[in-house]
Structure formats: structure tokens, C-alpha cells
């Protein structure tokens, strides 16, 4: 990753003040490691504009949970097409954890297909990753995964960059 431009650093620092994980997701998405990210905690207009200043497309999605209560998700992506895919599928729908949803979300979130499939079949099956490594990923790695080590290296780089911003 090249040195980050000052405007990007400004946004990242502001996002870090809200929540480190939000800044981390934003930078992973900017760097293209994640086609799309989802934030499930509330964000106000000013916070949304920080994401937009980073060159991200941002959209608020309304979902419902079992009790019928509405919940709001904020999704962001460098490319509008991923926002469209998510919106078409999930806007105004009930939150669900079906295999089809896990596969679709995994695709949008940039997870390795092998890990997605493994998770669908055996959620949280033991893998050989250290807790520290697993913690900076958003997918649960499959055992002896061939894709995760390379991804992990990139994720770690983004994570460390963010600490230094």
C-alpha cells in the first residue's frame, strides 16, 4: 500500500474515534480487499460523509428482525454495482442466516469461496489460525485454507497501517 493521502488519513482518524473496526472496514474496502462492507451500528450523517469522503458509495438499508422491529444497516463499497446487488437482495427484507444468504454475503464481503462453503456446512469448524490472526479477519477460515494466508497478510498490512495513521 502506498502512503495514504492526507484527506484519507483525516477520515480514518475521525472514523477511528467512532470505532476502530469501522475505520478498519472502510480501509479494507478502499483497498479493494472487501468489495462491500456492512456496518450494523448507528451512523449519523456526518459519519456517513466521512465514508463518502474516502471515495466510498454508501447506502442505508432497512431490515426487520424476528420481533418485527426495524433495523438499519449501512453498506459501503468502492463500486456502485455491489451496492445495487446488496440493495436488490436485502432492502426491506427480514434478516436471515440461510445458506443462500451466507453465500451471497460472503461473495460481496470478499470471503474465499472455500471458507464460505465450509462455514455453511460446519460453522466455526476448528482451523489452524492463531486467535490473533482469526481476529483481524471477518470470515472464518477453513482448515488448511489455501487462500486465507495470502489474504491474511494483506489484512494485517491494512490493520497495521491503520494503527499508524
Positions that interact with Zn ion (CB under 5 A): 112, 114-115, 142, 145
Least distance (Å) from Zn ion to the CB of residue 140? 9
Nearest residue to the partner Zn ion, using Cβ? 145
Least distance (Å) from Zn ion to the CB of residue 109? 14
Query: Counting Cβ atoms within 10 Å, is residue 133 exposed (0-12), middle (13-18) or buried (19+)?
Result: middle
Between 4 and 114, name the residue whose CB sits nearer to Zn ion. Answer: 114
3-state secondary structure of 71: strand
Least distance (Å) from Zn ion to the CB of residue 147? 5
The secondary structure of 8-36 as a DSSP string is HHHHHHHHHHH-HHHHHHHHHHHTTS-SE
Least distance (Å) from Zn ion to the CB of residue 65? 30
Between 124 and 163, name the residue whose CB sits nearer to Zn ion. Answer: 124
Task: List residues bridging with 62 in a β-sheet.
Answer: 72
The secondary structure of 74-93 as a DSSP string is EEEESSHHHHHHHHHHHTTE
Between 79 and 114, name the residue whose CB sits nearer to Zn ion. Answer: 114
Least distance (Å) from Zn ion to the CB of residue 119? 9
Between 93 and 121, name the residue whose CB sits nearer to Zn ion. Answer: 121
Task: List residues bridging with 47 in a β-sheet.
Answer: none
Query: Counting Cβ atoms within 10 Å, is residue 123 exposed (0-12), middle (13-18) or buried (19+)?
Result: exposed
Amino acid at each position: 500500500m502506498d502512503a495514504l493521502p492526507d484527506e484519507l488519513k483525516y477520515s480514518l482518524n475521525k472514523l477511528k474515534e467512532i470505532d476502530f473496526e469501522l475505520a478498519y472496514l472502510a480501509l479494507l474496502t478502499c483497498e479493494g480487499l472487501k468489495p462491500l462492507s456492512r456496518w450494523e451500528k448507528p451512523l449519523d450523517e456526518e459519519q456517513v460523509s466521512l465514508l463518502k469522503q474516502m471515495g466510498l458509495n454508501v447506502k442505508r438499508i432497512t431490515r426487520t428482525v424476528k420481533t418485527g422491529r426495524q433495523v438499519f444497516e449501512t453498506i459501503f463499497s468502492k463500486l456502485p454495482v455491489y451496492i445495487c446487488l446488496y440493495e436488490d437482495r436485502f432492502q426491506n427484507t427480514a434478516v436471515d442466516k440461510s445458506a443462500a444468504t451466507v453465500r451471497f454475503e460472503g461473495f460481496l464481503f470478499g470471503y474465499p469461496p472455500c471458507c464460505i462453503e465450509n462455514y455453511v456446512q460446519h460453522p466455526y469448524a476448528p482451523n489452524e489460525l492463531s486467535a490473533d490472526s482469526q481476529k483481524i479477519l471477518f470470515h472464518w477460515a477453513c482448515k488448511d485454507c489455501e487462500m486465507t494466508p495470502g489474504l491474511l497478510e494483506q489484512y494485517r498490512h491494512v490493520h497495521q497501517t491503520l494503527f499508524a495513521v
